Amino acid sequence: MEDWSAAKGLYIPVIEAGQSLPLEWNLRLVKAGSYAIDILFNKDGDFASPPSASSKVFLEVAPKLNLNPGNVLPVAFGVPALIMGILGVVNYIRGRKTGIYG
């Protein structure tokens, strides 16, 4: 799974059976598609025992079409247009001085 998450996993201290511990985990998925998330845990806090897994949570991530990521299009088109405009004005002024444009 490709994602932009600072924390790939979260450590949860020991909690009792039936107790809940609300956590927030921000994840920014890069690719659209189907994903399954499950939680691995050790019973009774015994790190030597093999982990148990929760039931899976299934996610569907829709594709997002972004034609202007990071608002770069004004810069990508504006800077070359500005340079061409400046060079055009300079060329016109030089042409008038030399008599090309009458």
In the block, tokens 């405009």 appear at: 85
Same domain for 35 and 83, yes or no, is no
Number of domains in the chain: 2
pLDDT one digit per residue (tens) for the chain, 102 residues: 455 556 667 777 777 778 888 877 777 767 788 888 887 877 776 778 888 888 898 988 888 887 888 888 899 999 999 999 999 999 999 999 998 876
- In tens, the pLDDT along 23-47 reads 777 777 677 888 888 878 777 767 7
Same domain for 58 and 75, yes or no, is no
- 3-class secondary-structure state, position 94: helix
38-44: Cβ within 8 A, 24+ apart: 41/12
Sign of the CA dihedral 10, 13, 16, 22?
negative
pLDDT for res 1: 47
Same domain for 52 and 75, yes or no, is no
pLDDT for res 5: 59
